[in-house]
Chains A and B, each alone.
Chain A
Amino acid sequence: MTNASDTSTDTLPISPHVAAVEQACGPLEHSVYRGQQRVVVPAEKLLETLALLKDRGFDLLVDVSCVDYLEYRGAAHRYGLIYLLASTATNERLTVRAFVDDPEPTVASVVPLWKAANWLEREVWDMFGIRFTGHPDLRRLVMPEAFTAHPLRKDYPLQGRGERHNFPVITRDHS
């Protein structure tokens, strides 16, 4: 995905944090939207980037989320991971994104950096099937443990595949 159109509408300078990440990882796609800094990093460099940003003061992991770009116009990758960071000292915020693809969408877990990532990554695993390597306890968070699909993927039907009605029936005579 390109964010070039966003940068043209916003003239804020690129933050020093993004510059530091670029220094470590090479040139990256970054943008500013309504005063919010955003940067896209390669999935394999995600952990080292976030570790760097944590050292630079982003002590709060606000959210880990995901988007399925299946059949999305102009999308080059299938899954977009979104990490929302914040600094409680300076009130700065930063959005870090990374893209992963089928068949084995995998990214490094950031639980070693922020404990808050534990349940957030479990939810992303549950809903999208992104594997977080190094996660201490990657179980489903919302759906039942025996569930096999990842229901927020765009190729999963809204009404499911019959899981919701796969239960024994208790009749009057059997209760």
Chain B
Amino acid sequence: MSLLLDFIDLRGTARDVLLGLAPLAAIGLIFGLRAKLPRERLLALARGAVLVFAGLVLFLQGVKTGFLPTGELLGKALGTPERAVWLAPVGFALGLAVTVAEPAVRILGDQVERATRGSIRRKVIIAALCLGVALAVGLGMGRMLLGLPIHFITVPGYLLALVMLPFCDRVFAPIAFDSSTVATGPLVVSFISAVALGAAEAMDHTDPLLDGFGLVAVVALVPVLCVMAAGVVHTLKTRRTS
């Protein structure tokens, strides 16, 4: 029965969400009144705010009672020495699973196709992103297993992005860096991070603070590199033809 009570007891979550939303609600009220919005639009804003509040409470409650404990248990199950070889392949599968269905990834695909005037197809970007994130999570989990510092992934990644920067047209850099947010949705942040933290806790040689974190950063890097690479290819192509 405690399980059902856990799900239903929304008080703690509701208080946290209310506290978090209060400043934004105040800003909405002040700007809405100052701009002398008509009554209907103010009411629409308020209705939307209620939906945002209810949605956040339910979502966070589901994350706290469902995703986080499951992710941690999965991580702990994978952190035992005889199963640790599974970590990287499971990371790959989870990375693929969260990216394939992410709506923001498809929107980014359209954006890049437009920015390159069709020379880089939407499908190519989406496939590159999905594979990239899957590889990144797999690598991230693998690095934890080997106890390597995060620098082994982030330093080459950031360097590569910075090296490509001068070689692509000015439209690409902002799209590329903005896109770091497309794959780091709430699922990556809650579920995949919980798996990593659980695994780091279960392994003796790891420190959860050093090894459990860092996956989100690695996932954030992949879209940047993909879009930047698309930009370099497109820029070189157009320069050659002109």
Q: Do A and B come from one complex?
A: no
